[in-house]
Amino acid sequence: MIDRDNLVLSIRNSIPNIVEDCNSELESFQNKTLRPILKFQNKLTLLLLKDSKGFNLLEEISNSEEYVKQLKLFVDKNLKLKNQIVATVSALFTTDEFAFYIQNKREVSKRILSMQSKRYRDELVSNC
Protein backbone atom coordinates (compact mmCIF):
# COMPACT_ATOMS: atom_id res chain seq x y z
CA MET A 1 0.00 0.00 0.00
CA ILE A 2 1.29 3.45 -0.92
CA ASP A 3 1.86 5.92 1.90
CA ARG A 4 0.13 9.03 0.56
CA ASP A 5 1.90 11.47 2.90
CA ASN A 6 5.36 10.30 1.85
CA LEU A 7 4.37 10.39 -1.80
CA VAL A 8 3.05 13.95 -1.50
CA LEU A 9 6.20 15.04 0.32
CA SER A 10 8.45 13.38 -2.25
CA ILE A 11 6.82 15.40 -5.03
CA ARG A 12 7.22 18.59 -3.03
CA ASN A 13 10.85 17.86 -2.11
CA SER A 14 11.84 18.15 -5.75
CA ILE A 15 10.74 21.80 -5.76
CA PRO A 16 13.40 24.28 -4.58
CA ASN A 17 12.11 26.33 -1.69
CA ILE A 18 13.64 29.20 0.21
CA VAL A 19 12.57 28.92 3.83
CA GLU A 20 13.14 32.03 5.83
CA ASP A 21 13.20 32.22 9.60
CA CYS A 22 9.60 31.99 10.69
CA ASN A 23 8.10 33.85 13.60
CA SER A 24 4.91 31.85 13.75
CA GLU A 25 3.45 28.47 12.95
CA LEU A 26 1.39 30.03 10.15
CA GLU A 27 4.48 31.62 8.57
CA SER A 28 6.29 28.31 8.75
CA PHE A 29 3.31 26.56 7.14
CA GLN A 30 3.22 29.20 4.43
CA ASN A 31 6.92 28.83 3.60
CA LYS A 32 7.34 25.09 3.98
CA THR A 33 4.00 23.92 2.63
CA LEU A 34 2.10 26.53 0.65
CA ARG A 35 4.93 28.01 -1.43
CA PRO A 36 6.14 24.67 -2.83
CA ILE A 37 2.58 23.52 -3.57
CA LEU A 38 1.67 26.76 -5.30
CA LYS A 39 4.81 26.53 -7.39
CA PHE A 40 4.06 22.91 -8.29
CA GLN A 41 0.41 23.67 -9.14
CA ASN A 42 1.15 26.92 -11.01
CA LYS A 43 0.20 25.72 -14.50
CA LEU A 44 -3.00 24.16 -13.19
CA THR A 45 -4.09 27.23 -11.21
CA LEU A 46 -3.34 29.43 -14.21
CA LEU A 47 -5.62 27.22 -16.31
CA LEU A 48 -8.33 27.57 -13.64
CA LEU A 49 -8.09 31.35 -13.94
CA LYS A 50 -8.12 31.36 -17.74
CA ASP A 51 -11.10 28.98 -17.79
CA SER A 52 -13.12 31.20 -15.46
CA LYS A 53 -16.20 32.83 -16.95
CA GLY A 54 -15.42 36.45 -17.76
CA PHE A 55 -11.63 36.15 -17.80
CA ASN A 56 -11.54 36.86 -21.53
CA LEU A 57 -12.67 40.44 -20.77
CA LEU A 58 -9.46 41.01 -18.81
CA GLU A 59 -7.40 40.07 -21.82
CA GLU A 60 -8.70 43.18 -23.61
CA ILE A 61 -7.02 45.51 -21.06
CA SER A 62 -3.70 46.85 -22.31
CA ASN A 63 -2.76 49.16 -19.41
CA SER A 64 -0.80 47.10 -16.86
CA GLU A 65 -1.99 49.11 -13.82
CA GLU A 66 -5.62 48.73 -14.84
CA TYR A 67 -5.04 45.05 -15.62
CA VAL A 68 -3.62 44.41 -12.13
CA LYS A 69 -6.56 46.24 -10.56
CA GLN A 70 -9.16 44.34 -12.60
CA LEU A 71 -7.40 41.00 -12.11
CA LYS A 72 -7.47 41.50 -8.33
CA LEU A 73 -11.18 42.38 -8.44
CA PHE A 74 -11.88 39.41 -10.70
CA VAL A 75 -10.22 36.94 -8.34
CA ASP A 76 -11.64 38.58 -5.19
CA LYS A 77 -15.22 38.38 -6.48
CA ASN A 78 -15.03 34.92 -8.05
CA LEU A 79 -16.02 32.53 -5.26
CA LYS A 80 -15.93 29.48 -7.53
CA LEU A 81 -12.35 30.26 -8.62
CA LYS A 82 -11.23 30.91 -5.04
CA ASN A 83 -12.70 27.59 -3.90
CA GLN A 84 -11.01 25.78 -6.80
CA ILE A 85 -7.64 27.33 -5.94
CA VAL A 86 -7.89 26.37 -2.27
CA ALA A 87 -9.00 22.84 -3.24
CA THR A 88 -6.14 22.49 -5.73
CA VAL A 89 -3.62 23.44 -3.05
CA SER A 90 -5.15 21.57 -0.11
CA ALA A 91 -5.36 18.38 -2.16
CA LEU A 92 -1.57 18.16 -1.84
CA PHE A 93 -1.48 18.52 1.95
CA THR A 94 -0.30 15.64 4.08
CA THR A 95 -2.77 14.46 6.72
CA ASP A 96 -0.96 16.50 9.40
CA GLU A 97 -0.97 19.58 7.17
CA PHE A 98 -4.64 19.09 6.45
CA ALA A 99 -5.35 18.88 10.18
CA PHE A 100 -3.47 22.18 10.61
CA TYR A 101 -5.47 23.64 7.72
CA ILE A 102 -8.75 22.62 9.36
CA GLN A 103 -7.69 24.28 12.62
CA ASN A 104 -6.61 27.47 10.77
CA LYS A 105 -8.86 27.32 7.71
CA ARG A 106 -9.66 31.01 7.43
CA GLU A 107 -6.07 32.25 7.75
CA VAL A 108 -4.55 29.52 5.57
CA SER A 109 -7.15 30.04 2.84
CA LYS A 110 -6.50 33.77 2.97
CA ARG A 111 -2.76 33.17 2.55
CA ILE A 112 -3.29 30.71 -0.31
CA LEU A 113 -5.45 33.21 -2.20
CA SER A 114 -3.13 36.12 -1.52
CA MET A 115 -0.08 34.20 -2.68
CA GLN A 116 -1.88 32.87 -5.75
CA SER A 117 -3.15 36.33 -6.68
CA LYS A 118 0.42 37.60 -6.54
CA ARG A 119 1.55 34.71 -8.75
CA TYR A 120 -1.19 35.62 -11.25
CA ARG A 121 -0.12 39.27 -11.28
CA ASP A 122 3.56 38.43 -11.64
CA GLU A 123 2.92 36.01 -14.46
CA LEU A 124 0.20 37.77 -16.40
CA VAL A 125 1.09 41.48 -16.16
CA SER A 126 4.04 41.03 -18.51
CA ASN A 127 1.59 39.67 -21.09
CA CYS A 128 -0.73 42.67 -21.21
Task: State pLDDT tens for residues 66-83.
Answer: 888 999 999 999 999 999
State the pLDDT confidence band at 4, using cuts at 50, 70 and 90. confident
pTM here is: 0.84
Q: Which of 120, 118, 106, 25 is nearest to 33 (CA)?
A: 25
Rounded to the nearest integer, the mean pLDDT of the chain is: 88
Q: In 40-87, which ranges are E strands?
A: none
Instruction: Reply yes or no on whether the pLDDT at 115 is more than 90.
Output: yes
Task: Pick the more confident residue, 86 or 15.
Answer: 86
Question: Rounded to an integer, what distance in angstroms lies between the CA atom of residue 128 and that of residue 121?
Answer: 11
What are the boundaries of each domain within the chain? 25-127
Contact (CB, 8 A) for 81 and 34: no
